[in-house]
C-alpha cells in the first residue's frame, strides 16, 4: 500500500518520513507499473516534453500538467513528478538529488483509528496534518513543523514543513476538494541545497492544477513564509541547526496528539 505522505527521500510515512518508494523506474514512455496503478480512471496525453494528466475517481477529478522535461509515475491515489530523471522508488536508501512533487487524494478512511472531524467546526486539512505530525509511527525521525491552517478560495487548507534529516526538505500542503469530504495533498521535496528554488518550481505545477474544478495558481505561494523555515535547519548556513555542544539538533514528533482547533 502506498504510504500517505510519500515524498521525501528514504522512506514513506510509515517508515522514515515521507517518501515514496512505491514504484520502480519505468520505461522512458512512463508506462505505469500495474502493481501501483492509479485507483480510478485516468488519461494521459503528451505534448512534446509535457504530459497532460486527468485523474478521476467517484468523488474527485484532478487535472495537472507535468513541468517540461519532468517524468511522471501514477500512484495509488495520484501522480508523482520527478525532475529530469527516472527514479528507483523501491530503493529505500535513495536520497533525492532533485525536485519531486507528489499530488494525491487519499481516501477519508485511510487511517483506521482516525475519526473524521465535524467539517462545520474543524479545518479538515489541519486536523489530518496534525494527526500525522503527532505520530512517530507515521513520520519516523523527521522534524515536522506545527501545521498552519489557512483558506484557499474559500476552501479549508493547511501546510507544514518537514526536515527528513537525510538532506531532503519537504513542503506539504493539503486543500479540501470542492463538493467532497476529501483532501488534495501536495508534497514538494527538494535537496536542502536547492531549498530556495522551491518557490521557482511550484508555479509550474500550480498554474495547471485543478481539483473538482478548483483552479490553483502561483498566488498560493503568498500563504507560505519567505524564506521557508524548516525545523532543525539553518536557512542562512544551509546546514542542520546545532546545540551548544556542536551536535545536530534532532527531535521526534510528540507521542500524544494535540487537540484539533
Asked, for residue 13, whether it belongs to a domain, the answer is: no
Q: What is the pLDDT of residue 243?
A: 45
**pLDDT tens column, 185-228:** 999 999 998 988 999 999 999 999 999 999 999 999 999 999 99
Domain that residue 173 falls in: 34-240
φ, ψ dihedrals at 138, nearest 5°: -100, -35
Reported as a single tens digit per residue, the pLDDT across 50-68 is 999 999 999 999 999 999 9
The answer to whether residues 219 and 209 touch, using CB atoms and an 8 Å cutoff, is: no
Q: Does the residue 24 lie in any domain? A: no
Greater model confidence, 247 or 159 = 159
Residue 55 domain flag? yes
Domain membership flag for residue 254? no
- Select from 249, 56, 66, 36 the least CA-distant residue to 163: 249
Give the count of domains, the chain. 1
Which pTM was predicted? 0.76
Q: Is 199 helix (H, G, I), strand (E, B) or coil?
A: helix
Contacts of 256 (CB under 8 A, 6+ apart): 134
Q: Is the residue at 255 inside a domain?
A: no
Burial of 122 (0-12, 13-18, 19+ CB in 10 A): middle
| Per-chain mean pLDDT for the chain | 76
- Residue 80 within a domain: yes
98 DSSP assignment: S
Within-domain flag for 8 = no
Q: Which helix (H) or strand (E) holds 198?
A: helix 198-206
DSSP 17-68: SB----S----TT-PPPGGG--SSEEEEEEETTEEEEEEE-SS-EEEEEPPT
Write the pLDDT tens digit of every residue in 123-174.
Answer: 999 999 998 998 888 888 999 999 999 999 999 999 999 999 989 999 999 9
Amino acid at each position: 500500500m502506498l504510504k500517505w505522505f510519500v515524498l521525501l527521500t528514504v522512506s514513506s510515512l510509515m517508515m522514515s518520513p515521507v517518501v515514496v518508494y512505491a514504484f520502480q523506474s519505468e520505461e522512458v514512455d512512463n508506462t505505469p507499473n500495474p502493481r501501483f496503478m492509479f485507483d480510478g480512471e485516468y488519461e494521459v496525453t503528451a505534448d512534446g516534453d509535457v504530459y497532460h494528466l486527468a485523474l478521476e475517481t467517484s468523488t474527485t477529478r484532478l487535472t495537472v500538467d507535468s513541468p517540461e522535461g519532468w517524468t511522471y509515475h501514477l500512484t495509488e491515489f495520484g501522480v508523482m513528478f520527478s525532475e529530469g530523471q527516472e527514479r528507483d522508488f523501491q530503493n529505500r536508501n535513495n536520497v533525492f538529488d532533485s525536485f519531486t512533487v507528489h499530488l494525491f487524494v487519499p481516501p477519508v478512511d485511510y487511517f483506521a483509528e482516525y475519526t473524521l472531524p465535524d467539517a462545520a467546526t474543524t479545518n479538515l486539512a489541519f486536523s489530518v496534518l496534525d494527526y500525522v505530525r503527532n505520530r512517530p509511527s507515521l513520520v519516523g525521525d523527521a522534524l515536522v513543523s506545527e501545521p498552519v491552517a489557512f483558506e484557499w478560495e474559500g476552501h479549508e487548507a493547511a501546510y507544514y514543513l518537514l526536515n527528513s534529516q537525510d538532506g531532503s526538505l519537504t513542503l506539504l500542503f493539503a486543500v479540501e476538494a470542492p463538493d467532497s469530504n476529501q483532501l488534495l495533498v501536495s508534497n514538494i521535496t527538494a535537496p536542502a541545497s536547492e531549498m530556495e528554488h522551491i518557490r521557482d518550481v511550484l508555479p509550474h505545477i500550480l498554474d495547471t492544477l485543478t481539483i473538482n474544478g478548483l483552479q490553483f495558481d502561483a498566488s498560493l505561494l503568498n500563504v507560505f513564509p519567505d524564506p521557508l523555515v524548516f525545523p532543525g535547519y539553518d536557512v542562512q548556513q544551509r546546514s542542520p541547526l546545532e546545540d551548544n555542544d556542536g551536535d545536530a539538533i534532532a527531535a521526534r514528533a510528540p507521542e500524544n496528539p494535540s487537540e484539533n482547533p
